[in-house]
Amino acid sequence: MECRDAQFYLRWQRHATDELGAEVTTALRQHLAQCPVCAAESQALLAFDKAIARAMKAVPVPPALRDRIRTHVATQRGARLRVQLYRTAVSVAAAVVLVLLGLSIFSSTRPRVDPQMLAELADDQLHRPDDYIQNWLIAQKLPTELPHQFDWELVTHRGFDDVQGLKVPVIVFTTPDGRDFAKVYIFRKDGRFDMRDLHAGQASRASADVYDTPHAVYVIVYTGGPRGLQRFLTNRPPGGPAT
Partner 1 sequence: MSSAHGLLALIDAHYESLYRYAYRLSGTPADAEDLTQETFGKALAHLSQLREPERAKAWLFRILRNLYLHKVRDSQRHKEIPLESLGDLPQRPPDDPLPEIDPGKLQQALNDLDETFRTPLILFYFEEFSYRDIAEQMDVPIGTVMSRLARGKAYLRHRLFPSHERDHPRLPEAKAVSGSPQVTDGVP
Q: Find the binder of partner 1 among 26, 30, 33, 51 (CB under 8 A).
A: 51
Instruction: Give me the residues paired with residue 157 across strands.
Output: 172
Q: Is 203 in the site for partner 1 (CB under 8 A)?
A: no
Nearer to partner 1, 7 or 175 (CB): 7
Cβ-based nearer residue to partner 1, 43 or 104: 43
Residue 87 found at the interface with partner 1 (CB under 8 A): no
Q: Rule CB under 8 A: is residue 55 a binding residue for partner 1? A: yes
Q: How far is CA 6 from CA 3, 12, 26, 41, in A?
A: 5, 10, 11, 10
Is there a contact between 159 and 170 (Cβ–Cβ < 8 Å)? yes
Span 5-24, contacts to partner 1 by CB under 8 A: 5, 7-9, 11-12, 14-15, 17, 19-21, 23-24
3-state secondary structure of 171: strand
The one among 33, 40, 95, 103 contacting partner 1 by CB under 8 A: 40
Give the separation between CA 98 and CA 148, rounded to whole angstroms: 55
The DSSP output letter for 112 is P
Residues 163-202 that bind partner 1 (CB under 8 A): none
Q: Give the integer Cα–Cα distance in Å for 163 and 161.
A: 6
> Should residue 47 be labelled a site residue for partner 1 when binding is judged by CB under 8 A?
yes
Judged by CB, which is closer to partner 1: 83, or 118?
83
- 169, 186 Cβ separation under 8 angstroms: yes
Give dist(CA 43, CA 33) in Å, integer. 12
Which residue from 22, 57, 107, 240 is in contact with partner 1, where contact means CB under 8 A?
57
Residue from 22, 34, 59, 116 that binds partner 1 (CB under 8 A)?
59
Residues 187, 217 contacting (CB under 8 angstroms): yes
**What is the Cβ-side half-sphere exposure of residue 38, based on CA atoms within 13 angstroms?**
21
Binding site for partner 1 (CB under 8 A): 4-5, 7-9, 11-12, 14-15, 17, 19-21, 23-24, 40-41, 43-45, 47-49, 51-59, 61-62, 65-66, 68-70, 72-73, 76-77, 80
